[in-house]
Amino acid sequence: MIKRRVTWLALAMLALSAGFLLWQLKGPTGFILTLRGTKLATLIMVGAATGAATILFQTVAANQLLTPGLVGFDALYVFLQTLLVFLLGGVGYAAIPAAAGFLAEAGLMILVAVIVFRLLFRNGGADVIRILLTGVILGIMLRGLAELLQRLLDPAEFSVVQQASFASFSAVSPAQLAITGTALAIALFLCARMAPRLDVAALGRPVARGLGLDYDRLIMQALALVAALVAISTALVGPLTFLGLLAASLARELVPTHRHAWLIPAAALTGALILVAGQFVFERLLGQQSTLSVIVEFFGGLLFIALIFRRRTL
């Protein structure tokens, strides 16, 4: 049953991708297909990276309410964009080669994420309250710093920062996609190799160690992967705090299994499906643009609140 459901998700993804590419295809088809293909690949990669990262993070944190976005990545991303515009100016910022800028940004975010995660998960585990508080405090600190820098910018530069601060799926270059695609493929391969050990890790540190799992080492490896996946996604399109929670929660409902070999692809496919379907509806059916991230965050936030109230304990 589980295998069949994941297959259905994959088939739905294929059908949706075909619809996304071919819906009302008129005029210069080659040009339009290139544009749509780039956007489709971006949406799929961001959704897959975020979905897979969230399943890993929830296993590490032993809590299905959490998402790595809550640790303050959005604030870090906005701070980095502001700092770059502040240091280089609006023109200098626009002149950064896309691939180099993306690599630097992703590298820096991986570094910060690894440091934060190591601090949070030293001694083998982190509790929910500590993760949430760290996210809130890190967010306040970085947002405060970003606001301070933004006050020093001129209005034109400020608008550049504002544009860069929301997730956008249209401004991704083929070079960025190639790098991201390769990195994502490697990360997902490593996730698949780790899957049987993640099943044991999900039992919690005490039981997993009793069963002979080198738990602390696995957790550090998983967190490094989470950091890479989140950094890939954020550096590519910008912050999406709650997409992972939506993807992981839906995947767990659609594919009710404890086995990460199925859960990770299910969450990756669900994340991609949410983004592609959402973008398709907004762009093609409703004729609107650039609102998908806002809607994803809105519904993701609602889900987060609903999950909090549904639970007896966090």
Which position has the token pair 């400020």?
Answer: 158
Contact between 155 and other proteins (CB under 8 A)?
A: no
Query: Closest CB to other proteins among 175 and 216?
Result: 216
> What's the start-to-end Cα distance of the chain, in Å?
30
Coil, strand or helix at 289: coil
CB of 119 to other proteins, least distance (A): 20
Contact predicate 113/149, CB 8 Å: no
CB of 185 to other proteins, least distance (A): 22
Q: Which of 133, 211, 294, 302 binds other proteins (CB under 8 A)?
A: 211
Query: Closest CB to other proteins among 67 and 279?
Result: 67
Stretch that binds other proteins, among 34-42, 104-112, 202-210, 231-239 (CB under 8 A): 202-210
Quote the DSSP letter at residue 65. T
Which position has the token pair 């899957």?
Answer: 195
Contact between 123 and other proteins (CB under 8 A)?
A: no
Q: Please give the residues from 229 up to 258 whose contact with other proteins meets the rule CB under 8 A.
A: 252, 256, 258
227 vs 54, 167, 204, 235, CA distance in Å? 10, 18, 21, 12
Dihedral pair phi/psi, residue 2, rounded to 5°: -65, -45
Q: Which of 115, 124, 204, 289 binds other proteins (CB under 8 A)?
A: 204
Contact predicate 229/71, CB 8 Å: no
Amino acid identity of residue 226, one-letter, is V
Stretch that binds other proteins, among 32-40, 55-63, 90-98, 290-298 (CB under 8 A): 55-63
- What is the rounded distance in angstroms from the CA atom of residue 186 to the CA atom of residue 51? 16
Which residues bind to other proteins, rule: CB under 8 A? 59, 62-64, 195-197, 199-200, 202-204, 206-207, 209-214, 252, 256, 258
